[in-house]
Amino acid sequence: MKLSCQEGLVPGDSFAEKIANLHKYGFEGVELDGAFVLDDDAWAERKSVLADSPVRPSSSCGGHPMRLVHPDPAQRRATLDALKKIMERAAEVEPGWGPVVVPIFNRDPRVPDLSPYMSSHELEMELLVVMLQELAAHGEQCGAVVFLEPLNRYESNSLKNQAEGARIVRRVNSPAVRLMSDFFHMSIEETNIAEALRQVADVCGHCHLADNTRLEPGTGMTDFAAGFAALKQAGYDRYLAFECGLSGPAEEVLPRSVAYLRECMAAG
């Protein structure tokens, strides 16, 4: 397992300086801001720095439309087009990574309730499968991956736990669509994070790290050692990316949290 960090959490006046700091703090990966991947000039800078960097891209997060499930076809198409562009650019650097996808980032149903044919939620999930199938075909062609992220009951009425997210990924049945398991969301929705991870390990391709405080790991009560042990037992060897607030200056907090997580990995 390898540690990554969102680029926005890292101090530095340039992307190259941020990457140098990540390497100094003990990270192996960087999670890019999708807005910078989509921007031609910002992407050129990142692509150049990553060409010979020991810190590798793990994923991209945010910065793109989040309307994969939406009643307006134009909104769905704009989201698909942005995600496909991120996938193509990801593959320009190296295969096997891509954007984190949140199907619905609020609690309002996006499609009508067609009961008894289908409830709003059932219809949303059917539409999500169709949208992901198109992204899966694109990812298989260009060599990129989409990471599907379940949130929690306070942030979305859709995909609120790992089991539901895994069901969608298994239905799509493509190596280009993997589950994204977020320790913060799991601390709200799962009764046992380690067991939840065991149940979805076959489709998990990426993880987000935040303590139950939503600050950096080590500031709360989340049992990262047990979660890491479950992932290790399943043979998970991909990235674990910091997506969190920070309890203090990044140059102090990030290396301290990295050291704490290395201890958790060793304990498992």
Judge contact between 172 and 136, C-beta under 8 A: yes
Is 149 catalytic? The answer is yes
- Out of 7, 31, 190, 243, pick the active-site residue: 243
Three-state SS letters, the chain = CEEEEEHHHCCCCCHHHHHHHHHHHCCCEEEEEHHHHHCHHHHHHHHHHHCCCCCEEEEEECCCCCCCCCCCHHHHHHHHHHHHHHHHHHHHHCCCCCEEECCCCCCCCCCCCECCCECHHHHHHHHHHHHHHHHHHHHHHHCCCEEECCCCCCCCCCCCCHHHHHHHHHHHCCCCEEEEEEHHHHHHHCCCHHHHHHHHCCCEEEEEECCCCCECCCCCCCCHHHHHHHHHHCCCCCEEEECCECCCCHHHHHHHHHHHHHHHHHHC
Query: CB neighbours of 114 closer than 8 A, spacing ≥ 6?
Result: 120, 123
- Out of 7, 149, 189, 190, pick the active-site residue: 149
Is 31 catalytic? The answer is no
Active site residues: 149, 243
